[in-house]
Structure 1
C-alpha cells in the first residue's frame, strides 16, 4: 500500500497552516475510501509510465479526494475520470510527450509574431489548474502573459464515446487587460479572444480524434468563485456556450458544444466587412493547420 502521508507531503507545503490542514483532510479521506484508493494505486503502478506520471504529478491521488472538476461530482466519478484521462493519453500520445506535459513543459500548437508581440497557443498543464481539469490550452502573449485558457479532461461520455470535457475558461488577469484584449481582437480581425481559445480547443479535440465536446454550465461549475459577493455572475459560462452553438444536456451541469465552429458564408457577411472576414478565416485556417500538425507530432 502506498504511503499517502508521504504523497501528501509532496503535494502540500506543511509550513503553511492552510496547506497543513488540507494535508490532514487528504489523509483522512484516503482512510475513508480505502478500497477506491487501493484501486487507484493499482492503476498507477500497473505500468512504468503510469508510475512515472504519478511520481512527477502526485496530484492524481489528491484530485479524487476533493470536490473538483464539476458540481456534485462523487469520489468514484473523480477517480474514474483521472484513470480514463490517463488511459487515453497513454494509448494516443508518445511517452516523452506525456511526461513533458506533466512536468510543466508546454507544447506549442501555433505561434505568430506578425503585427507585433509574439502570440502563441500552447497545450500544457500546471498543478494550480487541477481544480478544473487535467490539461490546458492557453493563449499567451510574450510580453503580456496568459490571455485566455481552457482547462479540460478527456473521458468517455454516457454513450462510451471519447470526449473532451471543459471544466473552466479563464480570461486575462493583468492591470491593462482591457487594452491588451482590444489590441489582440483588432489583430485577429475583430475575432474575440475567448472565441479564439474555444476554436483552438475544438481543433485540438478533432486532432485527437475525440467525438464530442462538453462544457460545465454555471450550475455545473465545481465552485462558486465565478459569482460575485452580490450574487451576480462575473462570467456566464452558460451564455457563452449558448452563443457558441452549444446545446444544454439533460444533465444541467453540462452543455454539448459543436466540434466545428460555424462560419458565415461571404453572402451572409455585409459587403463592407467581407475583407475583414477573409483575413480572419485565413488566420483561423493557419491556426487549424498548425494545431493539426503539432498534435500529430505528439501522437504515436
Structure 2
C-alpha cells in the first residue's frame, strides 16, 4: 500500500459511475431534498451499494424517522465541494446519522452535528495540502522516523473509508509495509474549541506474527506501536489547533450498541480502558476518556540509573517523531 508524503498531496476528484449524476452535477444541486430524490431514485449512484433497491428503501424509511437531521447533512452535501470530495470516498455518508456513530449514546442530531463539525473544520484549515490530506483516499505520510536497527516507520493520515462507524479520518502506523496500529477520529466543536473524538483504536491485525510486534517495540526502545501512533495524533492535534482529545472507552464504542453487540463481539481483543489508563487519560463520561494533549515524560532523576540510557534513546526517538510530524504538516 503506497502513500504519498504530505507535500505531494493533490485534491481528490472522485468519480461516479458512468451514466449517472457525477461530482460536479451533484455539487450544483440546489437542495438536500433534490439530492435525496436522486439517491432514492437511483439517478445518483456513488457505488454499487446504492444500486440495491432494498438499501435505498431502508434509507428512505430511516430518513422519515430523522428528516431534519438527514436534510442537514444532505444540504451540506448538495452545496459544498468539500462534502462531495468526502462523498466520493465515504459513500455511506448520507446514511451515517441513521446508525450508531462515533461513540455510544450519540443521538441522530448529535451525529449530524459531528459530521457537519468535522467537515467545517477540514474546510477551515488554512494549509490547503493539509486540508486535502484529510480528504485523501490513499492517505499521506505525516510522520517518518527510523528504528534503532534501521527499520522505516511511518504514519499515514487520510480518509481511507475504513471503520466508517468510528469517525471520518484514519491514521495508520507502519513498520516498512506491516500495519502495526490504526485509529479513527472526527473533529467536533465543543465549548472549549475543536475537539478530537477517537472512535476506534486498534493494534496490529491478529494475523500479524507476535514476533513482528516485539521487533517493532524493541526497535523503538520499548515504546509500543499504539503509543507511537497516539504521539503522532497529538502532534496533528497541536498543529491544527485542536484543544481537546476525547476517546471511546470499552463501553462507549459503537459496537457495544445493541445493533452490533452480537455481530461484532469478536472485534475487541484488547481493552481500551487499560490503554487509556496506562497513558494517564481520565474518565470523562461512561462512554469517553479525556486524553492528555501531550503525554508526560518521567524525569531522568526518577529513573533507575541502569535504565536511563534506554529512556534517553526513547525520548530522542519521540522528539524525532514530533519534529517529523510538525515538519511534514507545515510543508
TM-score (norm 1): 0.86
In structure 1, the partner of 2:46 is 10
Is the 1:4–1:30 Cα contact (8 Å) retained in structure 2?
Answer: no
For residues 261 and 173 of structure 2, the distance between their equivalents in structure 1, rounded to whole angstroms, comes to: 20
Q: Indicate the larger mover: 269-278 or 122-131.
A: 122-131
Residue 45 of structure 1 and its aligned partner are, at CA, apart by 2.8
1:145-184 per-residue CA deviation (whole Å, 9 max, x = no partner) reads x110111100123x24211111010111153431111000
Aligned to 1:62: 95
Relative contact order (C-alpha < 8 Å, sep 6+): which is higher? 2
Comparing 202-211 with 22-31, greater Cα deviation is found at: 22-31
Change (3 A) 1:45 1:121: same
| Candidates 272, 288, 291, aligned match of 2:322 | 288
Q: Whole-Å Cα distance in 2 between the matches of residues 229 and 62 of structure 1?
A: 20
Question: Distance in 2 between the 1:232 and 1:83 partners?
Answer: 28
The answer on 1:27 being equivalent to 2:60 is yes
CA gap 1:31/1:23 in 2 versus in 1, 3 angstroms: same
> How many Å apart are 1:62 and its aligned residue?
2.0
RMSD of equivalent CA atoms: 2.7
2:222 equivalent to 1:190: yes
Match of 1:43 among 76, 86, 102: 76
Cα distance change of structure 1 residues 94 and 23 upon mapping to structure 2, 3 Å threshold:
farther
Matches within 5 A, 1:166-245: 166-224=198-256, 234-245=269-280
Partner of residue 281, structure 2? 246
Shift of the 61–229 alpha-carbon distance from structure 1 to 2, 3 Å rule, reads: closer
Q: Give, in angstroms, the shift of residue 283 of structure 1.
A: 0.7
Gaps spanning 5+ residues in structure 2: where? 1-33
Gap regions ≥5 residues in structure 1: none
Say if 1:192 and 1:268 are closer, same or farther in 2 by CA, change over 3 A. Answer: same
Please tell me whether the aligned partners of residues 10 and 58 of structure 1 are also in contact (alpha carbons under 8 angstroms).
yes
Change (3 A) 1:35 1:96: same
Alpha-carbon distance in structure 1 between the residues aligned to 2:182 and 2:287: 20
Q: Deviations over 1:208-256 (max 9, x none)?
A: 111111011111110137999999962211121111111111x211110
CA distance 1:197–1:228, change in 2 (3 Å): farther
The answer to whether the 8 A contact 1:150-1:168 is kept is: yes
**TM-score with structure 2 setting the length:** 0.79
Contact kept? 1:9, 1:23, Cα under 8 Å: no
Q: Secondary structure at the match of 1:123?
A: strand
Distance change >3 Å, CA 22–CA 178, structure 1 → 2:
farther
**Mean CA deviation greater in 207-216 or 39-48:** 39-48
SS of aligned partner of 2:294: coil
Q: Runs in 1 of length 4+ with deviation above 4 angstroms?
A: 19-23, 93-97, 225-233
Offset at residue 88 of structure 1 (A): 0.5
